[in-house]
A = this chain, B = another copy of it.
Amino acid sequence: MRTASIRLGARVVGACIGVFTPFAVGGADDNASPVFGIRLPAGYREWQMISVAHEAGSLNDIRAVLGNDIAIQAYRDGTRPFPDGAIIARLAWEYVPSPENNAIFGQIQSFVPGSPTNVQFSVKDSKKYAETGGWGYGQFEHGKANASEDLMKTCAPCHAREAKNNDFVFTHYAP
């Protein structure tokens, strides 16, 4: 759930961009994320949950972080660095009040997912993504890869800023 925070942080803290060395992987597939060549992983919505979050401010979303079996096992075992093949998915939706729930409370205090905003992936491949800490990143809106190279170039530098002790991953497992 951290990735979007980081991206925004990267845009705010322009220094992130300065330390990034652009490179390209794949890109022939027009539904692959630029820079890293990440494609939408099949069946990611069925993956187990790592954690959840609410990002207020300009993002104003509510989100879930899911992991494929390799990522989930690494989280539960505390394995760091994450093994190659680990994929972390961050799903986000508009953060909206629930009229149904709030009718019970008599006040606006229940917030639920509205429309989906985007889905982001962190894909571990220590060789393919050696220049970015072993992680490749991608963002998809409604199943379509976001085509912005500049956006993708903000992910790795900011993941590298604070998560070195956790293999550049910001999301913690929620028990």
Give A residues with C-beta under 8 Å from B.
Answer: 1-2, 5-6, 8-9, 12-13, 45-49, 51-57, 59, 62-64, 66, 91, 93, 95, 98, 100-101, 103-107, 109-113, 116, 158, 161-163, 170, 172, 174-175
Contacts and interface: CB of A to CB of B under 8 A. Distances in A.
A104 B162 contact: yes
Query: Chain A interface mostly helix, strand, loop or mixed?
Result: mixed
A5 B51 CA distance: 21
Contacts of A98: 53
Contacts of A110: 1-2, 5, 53-56
Contact of A12 (B45, B105, B161): B105
5 contacts: A1-B112, A8-B105, A12-B104, A45-B48, A64-B64
Nearest to A62: B52
Nearest to A116: B175
